[in-house]
A and B are shown apart, each in its own frame.
Chain A
Amino acid sequence: MEVNSISFIFFNAFLANNFVLALFLGLCPFLGVSGKLETAVPMGLATTFVMLVSSVCAYAINQVLVTFDIEYLRLISYIAVIASAVQLVEMAMKKLSPALFRALGIFLPLITTNCAILGLALFQTFKEYNFIQSVVYALGAGAGFILAIVLMAGLRERLELAKLPSVTQGAALSLILGGVLSLAFMGFAGLGA
């Protein structure tokens, strides 16, 4: 496959360089919201949407910054765009589904500090993707995030029924589970760049 072909970019972000399990981005929601499937799925979708919006905006902003030769403002402008995109999603969700809005709670505004989104914007700039490539990259990263968080939520739901020593309850076991998942995802490494 061509390194910059559309399908390569998608599967690279989706599986081989999965944002959560291989690049360690977006771990806070991955560990925080993966307790139940009902909240994991909407969280994944909301994150994907913010990724898409911020990827498009970041592409546009970068064009402007490069034109005026002020790349040192990149970080500040990216994070400002992401914060506003999150605000947008928050307002939309509050209007469309108040129940979901309450269920996600503090983790919704925290999408702003989800490094997967800022990471996505930065990586697409480093890799010098064009507009379509950026959008595909965002979709792949979002799909990868949903995959990881849903897998984790499924595993944790099953774990609740298991008999475990009291010491292992809580975050420690989630992390070790994450490690096992990450090991499994290393099998896709051959697909990536």
Chain B
Amino acid sequence: MSLLKQDDRITAETFLEGIWRDNPVFVMLLGMCPVLAVTNSAVNALAMGVATTFVLLASSVLVSLFRKLIPKEVRIATYIVIIATFVTIVDYVIQAISLDLYNALGAFIQLIVANCMILGRAESFASRNTPMKSVVNGLGMGLGFTLALLCLGVVREILGNGSLFGLPLFGDGFQPWIVMVLPPGGFIVLGGWLLFFEWLKVRKQELSGDEEAVHGS
């Protein structure tokens, strides 16, 4: 019993792993389609991030609440139906709030259903943990996802449009790199970010390696 309690504890790690160590986009490469498709401006990226986070949170709670009732054989189908329900809600809510945003995001709101990050979380976390813990973890994951989308959206909007959140940054002389807001830009910017993180990791390893060498001698 005491062991089980230990498992149910919510630590800072539960929240933080989604933001940095297991970032769904930069580390696990999950849910790539919306990451590349809707990040041609920072506003779209933010809206997509928030919508995905909501679906992730709501479906985590429901999956976690019913985790002991769902038969193992049909669990994936059940998760998908739960997720699809919340996506339908988000779809209608966004349509009601801002039609411009709805048109800009297009089919990608409905395609949140097929975001493998959400199904992955339901399968590997929410179905094994208490609702409270799943919410904390889902919040971290959602935040990590939103931040990653923003990282891409900001770079692509600045380079491709010369603006940020719709506000122009440069003078009239700025020649926008149109390719950045087109599909190839998405691939290239994400590739660039991944290179950057890989470089950071290698550098960190080298630094800690040097320290060990110093201590060793």
- A residues lining the B interface (CB < 8 Å): 21-28, 31, 72, 75-76, 79-80, 83, 109-110, 112-115, 117-119, 122-123, 126, 166-168, 170-176, 178-180, 182-183, 186
7 additional contacts, CB 8 Å, given A109-B76, A123-B107?
A: A24-B186, A25-B33, A76-B85, A171-B194, A172-B191, A175-B194, A186-B182
CB-CB under 8 A for A27 and B36, given A122-B107, A178-B187, A182-B184: yes
CA distance A52 to B192 in the complex (A): 36
Residues of A within 8 A of B198 (CB): 167-168, 170, 172
What is the interface of chain B mostly: helix, strand, loop, or mixed? helix
Are B114 and A113 in contact, CB atoms less than 8 angstroms apart? Answer: yes
What size tier do the contact residues of chain B reach? 35 or more
Residue contacts A-B, CB under 8 angstroms, 6 given: A25-B37, A79-B114, A109-B76, A112-B114, A115-B115, A122-B107
The listed residue (B111, B115, B199) touching A119 by CB distance below 8 A is B111
Residue among A72, A115, A118, A182 with the highest chain B CB neighbour number at 10 A: A115
CB-CB under 8 A for A182 and B183, given A31-B32, A113-B119: yes
| Beta-carbon nearest neighbor of A84 in chain B | B77
Are B115 and A113 in contact, CB atoms less than 8 angstroms apart? Answer: yes
- B residues lining the A interface (CB < 8 Å): 29-30, 32-34, 36-37, 76-77, 80-81, 84-85, 87-88, 91-92, 107, 110-111, 113-116, 119, 179, 182-188, 190-192, 194-195, 198-199, 202
How far does the Cβ of B108 sit from chain A's closest Cβ, in whole Å?
Answer: 8
Residues of B within 8 A of A175 (CB): 187-188, 190-191, 194
Residues of B within 8 A of A79 (CB): 80-81, 84, 113-114
Residues of B within 8 A of A174 (CB): 191
Residues of A within 8 A of B114 (CB): 79, 112-115, 117-119
How far does the Cβ of A1 sit from chain B's closest Cβ, in whole Å?
Answer: 23
Are B195 and A167 in contact, CB atoms less than 8 angstroms apart? Answer: yes
The listed residue (B76, B84, B88, B202) touching A167 by CB distance below 8 A is B202
The listed residue (A114, A117, A171) touching B29 by CB distance below 8 A is A171
Residue among B33, B107, B119, B182 with the highest chain A CB neighbour number at 10 A: B33
The listed residue (B37, B179, B190, B202) touching A166 by CB distance below 8 A is B202
How far does the Cβ of A193 sit from chain B's closest Cβ, in whole Å?
Answer: 15
Are B111 and A118 in contact, CB atoms less than 8 angstroms apart? Answer: yes
Are A183 and B191 in contact, CB atoms less than 8 angstroms apart? Answer: no
